[in-house]
């Protein structure tokens, strides 16, 4: 027997866009139903980010960093020295235990999201939705079908890993999802794709002791970032023995070998216990009846306006489904905004900048305009300040890898147009960068703010001072 529900707001997908929209709808007194598709639409409460993306990957990266520190201390001891005066015996990693710890972190956050939705009086329906028309869907649950009709629909189905036809997922060919739940460290790992996901996980597994090779079609790693930002990462890879095959194309995999065509067109076979394919993500538009909703598309994405409205009245879309950048914090901001619009508030989505972070070794942050965006312009100022001149960076061994903060500003009025950084722990500076851009800060605003000493944030202060022509510590 089919159960029937009618609601003010129906949200499809419980990721960072969907569940935030749900909580805000509840806070605003809107009757709301949230469909959580589990491993399908959204990946469970918290979506890809919480379950198989941002959070678990950072947990594995953190554990890998701890292991690397102990391993380095043990190696230095064998060579008669010590790391910061610390010596250690040869460490071992039980990846199964590490994954269990990671799963515990995810479970705790899942429970937190569930409690927040319950507090906001959002009804959560677990199951796979299929739309019959723009405002009606049937959800297949463990307890039978639930037919839901709504006045407003928010689509937040997220994205999924891109599969290569000649390297289908399965067995030893894995996506980032499987890479976060391996029971043991692979002896040889080949990563196909030199973007941020592949490099984050490739670096983590190198720290855990795997031999790692990276195959990237572009002529350099992280092609979306400028070379100055990626050079410190490339140096880390070289120093730690990670093979880089740039300008290369991956082929089929079999008998423990990945076929590769090099930049020069030569065939090459790479030994691999696991092949991690990270060539991008695509919006999850298939399998839930999008074609029955009558919404317009923009290429592979759902087309939206500045209010996240689709071409169908009272149907909204947020997050990865709507296009680049595919970032969790973008989806959350859009979800919160749409809830407020439905409640009658006057809102548009018009951020000055959405900061992006690459959790490699070292980390990369970019917000606003970069060097390529202002290339050839003589009306901008660019200033760089190295972490090698920052006391806190040196005290935590973060000043010796070529890291820096760069500020780009308008020459005429000193308005900050972009900020980038590369270095250990610079992800924690990203919110400061975004805040300054969003508030329309000028160089004098940063220069006039007393920055705490000793912190990495002093490099932002010094870069701004340098852009004004009077840096102190360089």
Residue numbers annotated as active site: 453
DSSP state of 309: B
Give the ranges where 42-94 is alpha helix by DSSP (H). Answer: 47-52, 54-78
What's the gap between Cα 340 and its chain centre?
A: 26
Inter-residue contact 54 to 72 (CB < 8 Å): no
Rounded to 5 degrees, φ, ψ at 314 are 65, 20
Strands 274-277 and 188-192: parallel
Residue 106, C-beta contacts closer than 8 angstroms, at least 6 positions apart: 46, 50, 51, 55, 56, 59
> d(Cα 147, Cα 137) in Å, to the nearest integer?
6
CA atoms of 57 and 65, how far apart (whole Å): 12
The two tokens of residue 41 are: 């639409």
For residue 252, what are its two tokens?
């089929």
Q: Quick one: which of 111, 110, 124 has its CA closest to 50?
A: 110
Walk across the sheet containing 249-254 and list its strands.
249-254, 257-261, 267-271
Dihedral (CA of 437, 442, 445, 446) sign: positive
């Amino acid at each position: 027997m089919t159960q029937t529900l009618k609601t003010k707001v129906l949200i499809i997908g419980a990721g960072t866009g969907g569940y935030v929209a749900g909580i805000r709808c509840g806070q605003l007194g809107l009757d709301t139903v949230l469909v959580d598709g589990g491993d399908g639409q959204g990946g469970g409460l918290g979506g890809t980010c919480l379950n198989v993306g941002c959070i678990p990957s950072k947990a594995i990266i953190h554990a890998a960093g701890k292991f690397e520190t102990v391993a380095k201390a043990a190696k230095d001891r064998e060579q008669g020295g010590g790391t910061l005066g610390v010596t250690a015996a040869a460490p071992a990693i039980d990846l199964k235990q590490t994954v269990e710890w990671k799963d515990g972190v995810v479970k705790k956050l899942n429970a937190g999201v569930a409690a927040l939705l319950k507090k906001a009086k959002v009804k959560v329906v677990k199951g796979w939705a299929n739309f019959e028309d723009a405002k009606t869907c049937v959800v297949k649950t463990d307890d039978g079908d639930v037919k839901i009709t709504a006045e407003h629909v928010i689509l937040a189905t997220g994205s999924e890993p891109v599969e290569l036809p000649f390297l289908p997922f399965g067995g030893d060919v894995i996506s980032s999802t499987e890479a976060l739940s391996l029971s043991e460290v692979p002896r040889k790992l080949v990563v196909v794709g030199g973007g941020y996901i592949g490099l984050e996980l490739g670096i983590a597994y190198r720290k855990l002791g795997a031999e790692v090779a990276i195959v990237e079609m572009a002529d350099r790693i992280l092609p979306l970032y400028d070379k100055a930002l990626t050079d410190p990462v490339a140096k880390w890879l070289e120093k730690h023995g990670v093979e880089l095959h740039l300008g290369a194309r991956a082929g089929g995999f079999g008998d423990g070998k990945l076929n590769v065509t090099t930049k020069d067109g030569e065939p090459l076979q790479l030994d691999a216990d696991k092949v991690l394919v990270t060539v991008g993500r695509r919006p999850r538009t298939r399998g839930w009846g999008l074609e029955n909703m009558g919404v317009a598309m923009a290429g592979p994405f759902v087309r939206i306006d500045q209010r996240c409205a689709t071409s169908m009245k009272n149907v909204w879309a947020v997050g990865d489904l709507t296009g680049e950048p595919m970032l969790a914090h973008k989806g959350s901001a859009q979800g919160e905004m749409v809830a407020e619009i439905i409640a009658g508030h006057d809102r548009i989505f018009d951020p000055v900048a959405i900061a992006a972070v690459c959790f490699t070794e070292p980390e990369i942050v970019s917000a606003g305009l970069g060097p390529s965006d202002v290339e050839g312009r003589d009306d901008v100022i660019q200033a760089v300040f190295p972490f090698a001149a920052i006391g806190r960076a040196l005290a935590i061994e973060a000043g010796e890898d070529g890291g820096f903060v760069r500020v780009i500003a308008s020459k005429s009025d000193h308005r900050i147009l972009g900020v980038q950084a590369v270095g250990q722990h610079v992800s924690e500076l990203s919110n400061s960068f975004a805040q300054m851009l969003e508030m329309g800060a000028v160089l004098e605003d940063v220069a006039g703010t007393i920055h705490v000493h000793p912190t990495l944030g002093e490099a932002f202060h010094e870069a701004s001072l340098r852009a004004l022509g009077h840096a102190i510590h360089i």
